[in-house]
């Protein structure tokens, strides 16, 4: 009889605990729907030199993340770049190049790290510089290959699907 009552108590405990409110990782995104969508369209790559990380690249594809950037002919990305051990790196120097399917960007605008757009992306780095980058895609290519090219550290390729 003790065994039956013990199982009954265990069953009741499990039953009522299963009905309790649960915390999951996705609950943290409920307040910011932009972050929840952005995690699916964010990628990170490293540029290496002698097996040491020289640059960190973070890219979020915005066309499916925010209705504001939805377009059939313009592809919009947030690019985050951190060059290791460089306090004053400048994306606009000749040593950097950014291509989407081998075409240059039509717009490259620096973003403040405390902007709403930067704060909504899931991968942030306090030492990175962020840019809003736009490319023409008049051919409406479905596979998007974004290349970040550095003259000294090489190329990082990030692929996205439309």
Q: What percent of the chain has pLDDT over 70?
A: 73
Is pTM, for the whole model, over 0.85?
Answer: no
Confidence of residue 146 (pLDDT cuts 50, 70, 90): very high
User: 140 with 72: CB under 8 angstroms?
Assistant: yes
Report d(CA 96, CA 110) in Å as an integer. Answer: 15
Order of all β-strands in the sheet with 74-83? 42-49, 52-61, 74-83, 129-136, 107-111
Question: Which residues touch 155 (CB under 8 Å, ≥6 apart)?
Answer: 47, 147, 148, 149
Q: How confident is the model at residue 67 (pLDDT cuts 50, 70, 90)?
A: confident
pLDDT higher than threshold 60 for residue 24: no
Mean of per-residue pLDDT scores for the chain: 79
Identify the top-confidence range among 75-89, 90-104, 147-161.
147-161
Structure-token pair, residue 90: 């400048």
118 vs 14, higher pLDDT: 118
Q: What is the dihedral of CA 97, 102, 107, 109, to 10 degrees?
A: -40
pLDDT for the residue numbered 88: 53
């Amino acid at each position: 009889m003790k065994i039956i009552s013990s199982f009954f108590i265990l069953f009741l405990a499990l039953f009522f605990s299963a009905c309790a409110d649960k915390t999951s990782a996705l609950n943290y995104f409920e307040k910011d729907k932009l972050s929840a969508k952005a995690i699916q369209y964010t990628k990170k790559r490293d540029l290496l030199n002698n097996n040491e990380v020289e640059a960190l690249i973070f890219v979020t594809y915005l066309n499916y993340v925010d209705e504001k950037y939805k377009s059939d002919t313009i592809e919009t990305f947030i690019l985050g770049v951190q060059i290791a051990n460089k306090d004053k790196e400048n994306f606009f120097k000749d040593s950097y190049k950014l291509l989407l399917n081998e075409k240059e960007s039509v717009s490259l605008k620096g973003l403040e790290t405390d902007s709403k757009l930067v704060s909504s992306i899931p991968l942030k780095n306090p030492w990175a510089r962020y840019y809003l980058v736009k490319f023409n895609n008049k051919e409406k290519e479905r596979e998007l290959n974004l290349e970040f090219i550095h003259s000294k550290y090489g190329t990082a390729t990030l692929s996205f699907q439309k």
